[in-house]
């Protein structure tokens, strides 16, 4: 899955969640809103265990949608959506209206691997290594939800019950499947990106297969 941001986009977020009915958000190029999030159903309230996801924080009693530190791979400050469909969503990509020219996502491969954050606009990318850690933890199947606003102002909501990003040595290959749409859309945004490898091009990232919608 997962996300690619382009210069013309004004606002974007991304999150992930578990096998329950929760998921993140994506929007296509030149559109005003984009969000991705994921949910982690398992793990982790045992003493000594690190906080790896917003779902874990939600189970611990946190119910405010705001920024939290989590450590799926490296420690990272993320937005946790504690309201959508029960809460516990980890926002893996966020774009803000205050980005200033939309160039904040014109980054290097290393930046996309490690993640980056802008304290002024609160825009960020959680990083490929963190997404890999979140989506490949044992017994931690993820669900991806994407909410897209098209140029026509049409809002599309899609979700995928299978979402996994492979390791760096496998070029962060995307595994995506189990498409459905809560609002009846037939727009499968990531259909042609399944099995694709992560690529940096034109100041944004995408997977190396043809697609109908760019992730960032």
> CA 81, CA 86: separation in Å to the nearest integer?
9
Residue 32 burial class via C-beta count within 10 angstroms: exposed 0-12, middle 13-18, buried 19 and up: middle
Number of C-beta neighbours around residue 84 at 10 A: 20
> CA 55, CA 39: separation in Å to the nearest integer?
6
Residue 137 is assigned to a structural domain of this protein = yes
Please name which of 128, 122, 160 lies closest in space to residue 144, comparing C-alpha atoms.
160
Residue 213 is assigned to a structural domain of this protein = no
Residue 1 is assigned to a structural domain of this protein = no
At 68, the pLDDT band (50, 70, 90 cuts) reads very high
Please name which of 31, 1, 10 lies closest in space to residue 123, comparing C-alpha atoms.
10
CA angle, 71 then 74 then 80, to 5° = 40
Instruction: Read off the pLDDT of residues 151-172 as tens digits, 9 standing for 90 and up.
Output: 787 888 888 888 899 999 999 9
Position 21 scores a pLDDT of 33
- CATH number of the domain within which 147 lies: 3.90.215.10
Instruction: Read off the pLDDT of residues 115-139 as tens digits, 9 standing for 90 and up.
Output: 888 877 778 888 999 899 888 876 6
Radius of gyration of the chain (CA): 15
First to last CA, the chain: 10
At 199, the pLDDT band (50, 70, 90 cuts) reads confident
* φ and ψ of 194, to 5 deg: -60, 130
Instruction: Read off the pLDDT of residues 78-119 as tens digits, 9 standing for 90 and up.
Output: 888 898 888 888 888 876 656 555 566 778 889 999 988 887
Residue 24 is assigned to a structural domain of this protein = yes
Residue 2 is assigned to a structural domain of this protein = no
- Beta-bridge partners for 207: 198
Residue 4 is assigned to a structural domain of this protein = no
Most confident option among 1-5, 73-77, 107-111: 107-111
Residue 187 is assigned to a structural domain of this protein = yes
Given a cut of 70, is residue 210 above it in pLDDT? no
pLDDT averaged over the chain?
A: 71
The gap from C-alpha 127 to its chain's centroid, in whole angstroms, comes to: 10
Stated pTM of the model? 0.72
Number of domains in the chain: 1
Q: Which domain holds residue 131?
A: 13-207
């Amino acid at each position: 899955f997962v996300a690619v941001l382009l210069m013309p986009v004004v606002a974007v977020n991304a999150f992930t969640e578990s096998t329950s009915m929760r998921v993140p958000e994506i929007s296509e190029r030149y559109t005003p809103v984009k969000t991705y999030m994921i949910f982690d159903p398992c793990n982790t309230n045992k003493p000594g265990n690190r906080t790896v996801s917003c779902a874990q924080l939600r189970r611990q009693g946190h119910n405010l949608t705001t920024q939290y530190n989590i450590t799926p791979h490296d420690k990272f400050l993320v937005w946790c959506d504690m309201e959508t469909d029960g809460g516990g969503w980890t926002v893996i990509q966020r774009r803000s209206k205050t980005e200033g020219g939309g160039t904040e996502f014109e980054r290097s491969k290393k930046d996309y691997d490690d993640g980056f954050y802008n304290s002024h606009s609160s825009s960020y990318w959680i990083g490929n290594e963190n997404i890999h850690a979140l989506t490949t933890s044992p017994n931690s199947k993820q669900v991806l939800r994407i909410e897209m606003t098209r140029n026509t102002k049409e809002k599309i909501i899609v979700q995928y019950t299978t979402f996994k990003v492979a390791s760096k040595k496998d070029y962060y290959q995307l595994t995506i499947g189990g498409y459905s749409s809560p609002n009846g859309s037939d727009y499968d945004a990531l259909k042609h990106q399944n099995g694709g490898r992560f690529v940096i091009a034109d100041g944004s990232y995408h997977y190396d297969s043809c697609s109908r919608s760019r992730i960032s």
